[in-house]
Structure 1
């Protein structure tokens, strides 16, 4: 029984680390996983809005979450998924 519990804990930890570190299949999930590190409740309950800035060569696409301190978050897409490039208090 102890081995099954330990294995389950390892699998859950690996999944959590994957969701936090690696690129994700959608920009909204990338934004939510980025916010999850600092504020898990806001990451789950807040609404993610698409910003007006698209395809910026340096930063990527803008997404906004109004309920957090660094509410402007830029994401880019590479060959394996979306990842956060930067965040701040204004575009």
Structure 2
């Protein structure tokens, strides 16, 4: 695999990981014991720490990408392993 392809796939894993990481560790203003600002949503975070979220996202994305790369080289899961209907065997005939 070319390094540019690997970089593009890593960026995709990073963007996907944002949605995995964002809900964890968030405390609302009520949970933190603060006062809500008029017009503030009930679910809005009390403090948003972008650096901490970016670090967590990078760690999760790196782990997922490493698993992807290992699967790419060692072939643990292949498209044929997901063929539950046996359609690959029909195409060979």
TM-score, normalising length from structure 2? 0.30
Identify which of structures 1 and 2 has the higher relative contact order when contacts are C-alpha pairs closer than 8 Å and 6+ apart: 2
Structure number having the greater strand percentage? 1
Look at both structures and tell me which one has the larger radius of gyration over its CA atoms.
Answer: 2
